[in-house]
């Protein structure tokens, strides 16, 4: 991003593609490709860190720890999933301050009831609009850096319909949100309705085989989206690859002739920073 903040990058109006990162290996690998930002997926982070569903089980302490590790190693801004803020208004203030201090460039907050659920799964329920408006106002007040962005997400579309989701997004914009995230529109027409409604930057959540159509970059830009997140694309690919390797090992008892392409071990060592270790050892050899 040539030293631009996330806020400055979003002002350019060209689509920002932010791949999902879910652990430190995916973070370090994605960071080598020159993306303008990375997205710390709550679904993937909870799954990889705890081996549990993204259903309000992970705590603030667990998640802010992951934010700190990822932001410290990322060379570009990190957009971090903050779920519902992990409680009431005082919790939201604490969460926003903690995510900002940990190094995130933006925090995503949603209007689901606690315990929350992944945005492309059934059974999501939302809190009253007025309660979420209070959360956003507290979040805006809590930040110390005006470049730290508040992403307001509504999950109302699935259970209450698009019109209610749009009304909520309007209210969240008026409360001071910097970026709007109308979760899980179900058709391209609905996505266009969202794009025509708002001037603030909009997030498109591209989940393969989720509730929302996955569209080409040019189409998302034309609709008016400013950010496209791909939270689980790399995770789905890596799990498919691991399943192939584990299946081959079980069947043959060897990794020889595995049908899955393998990343070079030497390249993995470099990716994880072993060159620094080797240089240190060489410089300080007795």
Q: Are strands 227-230 and 16-21 parallel, antiparallel or unpaired?
A: parallel
For 69, phi and psi rounded to 5 degrees? -65, -45
Question: Is residue 260 in a domain?
Answer: no
Q: Is the pLDDT of residue 118 over 70?
A: no
pLDDT class for 122, splitting at 50, 70, 90? Answer: low
Compute the distance between CA of residue 261 and CA of residue 30 in angstroms, rounded to an integer: 18
pLDDT tens profile 39-63? 999 999 999 999 999 888 999 999 9
Question: Is residue 269 in a domain?
Answer: no
pLDDT class for 117, splitting at 50, 70, 90? Answer: low
Question: Is residue 128 in a domain?
Answer: yes
User: Taking all residues of the chain, what is their mean pLDDT, rounded to a whole number?
Assistant: 95
Query: Residue 224's pLDDT is what?
Result: 96
Question: Is residue 230 in a domain?
Answer: yes
Q: Is the pLDDT of residue 246 over 90?
A: yes
Query: Residue 56's pLDDT is what?
Result: 87
pTM, to two decimals: 0.94
- Residue 153 and residue 205 in contact, taking contact as beta carbons nearer than 8 Å: no
What CATH number is given to the structural domain containing 207? 3.20.20.60
Question: Is residue 176 in a domain?
Answer: yes
Range of the domain at 56: 6-238
Question: Is residue 191 in a domain?
Answer: yes
Query: Residue 194's pLDDT is what?
Result: 98
pLDDT tens profile 156-200? 999 999 999 999 999 999 999 999 999 999 999 999 999 999 999
What b/e readout covers 127-155, taking b as 16+ CB neighbours within 10 angstroms?
bebeebbbbbbbbbebbeeeebbbbbbbb
Question: Is residue 254 in a domain?
Answer: no
Domain count of the fold of the chain = 1
Q: Which of 120-124, 210-214, 227-231 has the lowest mean pLDDT?
A: 120-124
Question: Is residue 257 in a domain?
Answer: no
Spatial CB neighbours of 230, under 8 Å, sequence gap ≥ 6? 17, 18, 19, 20, 39, 206
């Amino acid at each position: 991003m040539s030293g631009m903040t996330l806020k400055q990058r979003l002002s350019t109006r060209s689509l920002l593609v932010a791949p999902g990162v879910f652990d430190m290996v995916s973070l370090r690998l994605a960071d080598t490709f020159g993306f303008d930002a990375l997205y710390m997926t709550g679904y993937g982070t909870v799954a990889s860190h705890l081996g549990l569903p993204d259903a309000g089980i992970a705590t603030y302490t667990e998640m802010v720890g992951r934010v700190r590790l990822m932001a410290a190693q990322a060379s570009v801004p990190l957009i971090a999933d903050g779920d519902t803020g992990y409680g009431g208004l005082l919790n939201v203030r604490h969460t926003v301050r903690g995510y900002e201090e940990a190094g995130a460039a933006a925090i995503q907050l949603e209007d689901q009831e606690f315990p929350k659920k992944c945005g492309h799964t059934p059974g999501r329920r939302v809190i009253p609009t007025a309660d979420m408006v209070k959360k956003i106002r507290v979040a805006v007040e809590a930040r110390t850096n005006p470049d730290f962005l508040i992403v307001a997400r509504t999950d109302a579309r699935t259970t209450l319909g698009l019109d209610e989701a749009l009304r909520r997004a309007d209210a969240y914009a008026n409360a001071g949100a910097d970026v709007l995230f109308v979760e899980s529109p179900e058709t391209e027409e609905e996505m266009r309705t969202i794009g025509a409604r708002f001037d603030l930057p909009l997030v498109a959540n591209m989940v393969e085989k989720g509730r929302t159509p996955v569209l080409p970059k040019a189409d998302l830009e034309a609709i008016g989206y400013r950010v496209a997140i791909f939270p689980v694309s790399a995770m789905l690919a890596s799990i498919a690859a691991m399943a192939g390797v584990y299946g081959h090992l079980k069947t043959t008892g060897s990794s020889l002739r595995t049908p899955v392409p393998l990343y070079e071990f030497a390249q993995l060592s470099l990716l994880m920073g072993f060159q620094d270790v080797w240089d240190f050892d060489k410089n300080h050899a007795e």
